[in-house]
Structure 1
């Protein structure tokens, strides 16, 4: 997952005007973080609503099974929106186009998650949601408190993600429950690191790399994808253990 960032300089000096600028910069960053989390909460609530619809409303499951083309339509829409927002800087910074693309992306992702979770028991999905919430809360607090700079790990995370992709292909070819659990555990671990990494990119401050305050859509998108992937891998582990 490629991330756009820039290097912050923290050697402002002792000039009063610089101190004022520093205060303004911190205020902008706090507002940016609040905006990102507000968008993220809306995405997660919408996704939870769609998952609940698939879990508790049987006619919805039947309708989707009888119209399997909807899955592929949602997949194509998801892929197009993701590429557009990841590659087109102006698109994700221009309001309201950025919100429209994020809304469409969230709807497509929520639909695909609803389809994916519908094959599991309600208790398994609820357990996965609870564990994911606890893990993400703990990792977020850790990212805000730790002095270690995870923003320098971008290249390493891309490398291990490629290894995970190859491992996933092997897990598909070699049908083995233990291998599937190990793959899911590694996936959850890697995207947990991504969550810390993306959180610190959003925080800015003393971290070497950070996102521009104009990239609130991109920041929310990154965090949302991290959480969704953690949830899917945890759900896979729970499903494999049953």
Structure 2
């Protein structure tokens, strides 16, 4: 027993239990460190830091945060970042194609044209359906985890959107909507092709350059065909260009894990929610820019 007491009270053991001051300080700092999710960090940066800075600083903060998103959490056995971005752009392109097809069919077929004009309830149902789907995408994102259900919602969304596009065309008798959808379809298709070739190296600057080039090419071709609508074409060009820029950034945000419920398998709801996200971002940027400094 005495021997054991001697061992327990030995100076060597007492020295081993004494932690250096540097080690204590290091452990204390680790315990006090707070890990902030990147989506909360973005919100904090935009809500607090951006409000007290100049307009250029606000835009700089937004840009730095947009470029910082990169998530390994979203990778699944079926999809990665490359396939996710590619599929989203292809689905966006498909949405525009269906709107164009429905609009052209309605314009060429007198029976369908008259039916759409005379059936106001159809337009109300289509508008309400889009609003309901938009609400579901905002508050019940987990509903898109069901494979069959998400494709049903996707089909209903496209149908409602195409009906509204056809209604707008037959009422206004203007080709602006077709030019709009054609231009946006071309931009999304170009970005999808770029994502196929770039794969994991999909980069914002190159994507924005491709969006600019494809939008400009389609604008020039459309302007050559319909020269009498050149003023409208200019408005459409800049509108689609701005929309395409935010499309690239918004998809990059979602691909970086901004929506915690999504993985890279959720490219279907992403192709739907991107419109709502872009509208929300535009309003938020306007709020930042026009808020008094």
TM-score interval for Structure 1 and Structure 2 normalised by the shorter chain: 0.5 to 0.7
Distance in 2, Cα, partners of 1:183 & 1:45: 21
Match of 1:49 in 2: 101
Matches within 5 A, 1:56-95: 56-95=108-147
Gaps of 5+ in 2: 1-37, 41-68, 208-231, 279-293
Offset at residue 46 of structure 1 (A): 2.9
Match of 2:3 in 1: none
| Match for residue 149 of structure 2 among 82, 87, 97 | 97
Distance in 1, Cα, partners of 2:39 & 2:149: 22
Superimposed CA distance per residue, residues 145-187 of structure 1 (whole angstroms, 9 cap, x where no aligned partner): 545599xxxxxxxxxxxxxxxxxxxxxxxxxxxxx99986764
* Shift in CA distance, 93/5, structure 1 to aligned 2, threshold 3 Å: farther
Distance in 2, Cα, partners of 1:181 & 1:34: 28
Aligned to 2:132, the other structure's residue is in SS state helix
Distance in 2, Cα, partners of 1:148 & 1:93: 32
Superimposed CA distance per residue, residues 170-212 of structure 1 (whole angstroms, 9 cap, x where no aligned partner): xxxxxxxxxx99986764344222211133236x4xx685862
Aligned to 2:263, the other structure's residue is in SS state coil
The number of equivalent residue pairs is 183
Matches within 5 A, 1:73-222: 73-118=125-170, 119-121=172-174, 124=176, 126-137=178-189, 146=203, 187-201=239-253, 204=255, 212-222=263-273
Distance in 2, Cα, partners of 1:46 & 1:185: 21
Offset at residue 104 of structure 1 (A): 1.1
Contact 1:86 1:218 in 2 (8 A): no
Q: Once structures 1 and 2 are overlaid, which stretch shifts more, 135-144 or 125-134?
A: 135-144
Distance in 1, Cα, partners of 2:109 & 2:138: 34
Contact 1:71 1:112 in 2 (8 A): yes
Distance in 1, Cα, partners of 2:173 & 2:240: 18
Please tell me whether residue 28 in structure 1 is matched to residue 79 in structure 2: yes
Distance in 2, Cα, partners of 1:147 & 1:49: 31
Superimposed CA distance per residue, residues 64-91 of structure 1 (whole angstroms, 9 cap, x where no aligned partner): 2222221111111110112112321211
TM-score by length of 2: 0.48
Contact 1:91 1:98 in 2 (8 A): yes
* Shift in CA distance, 49/200, structure 1 to aligned 2, threshold 3 Å: same
Distance in 2, Cα, partners of 1:97 & 1:27: 19
Aligned to 1:96, the other structure's residue is in SS state helix
Q: CA RMSD in A?
A: 4.4
Offset at residue 25 of structure 1 (A): 6.5
Contact 2:103 2:165 in 1 (8 A): yes
Match of 1:8 in 2: 70
